[in-house]
Homo-oligomer: A and B are copies of this chain.
Amino acid sequence: MNTQFEECLKACLECMESCNVCFDACLKEDDVKMMASCIRLDRECADICALAVKAMQTNSPFATQICNLCAEICEACGNECKKHDHDHCQKCAEACYRCAEACRKMAS
C-alpha cells in the first residue's frame, strides 16, 4: 500500500464517521427543517465513503472511479455543511473537504 492509498482510506473512514455523527446530530436539532439538505447529503456522503472504503480494502478494479464519485459527493456535502454554525456541521465540512482532496489525489 502506498501513502496516497492509505491517506485516502483514512480520509474516507473519517469522513464517513463525521457524516454519520452529523446526520444523527442534525436530526436532534431544533431547526430540523433548516438541516434537511444536510441530513440528506450526510447520508449520501457516508454511504459513498463506505463504498469507497470497501473498494479500497478489497482491491476493487473500480476503486479509482468510486473515489472520483466520492470526491464529488464529499464536496457537495462539505459545501452544505459549511453553511451551518453547528459544531458537528463545521467539523463534517472539514472532513468532507479533506476526503474530497484525498480521493482526487488517489484517483489521479
Contact = CB atoms under 8 A, between A and B. Distances in A.
A27 B36 contact: yes
Contacts of A48: 51, 62
Contact of A62 (B36, B59, B61, B73): B73
Given A36-B27, A66-B69, A44 B61 contact: yes
Copies in the complex: 4
A54 interface: yes
Interface string A17-30: 10011011001101
A59 B37 CA distance: 12
A13 interface: yes
Contacts of A39: 27, 39
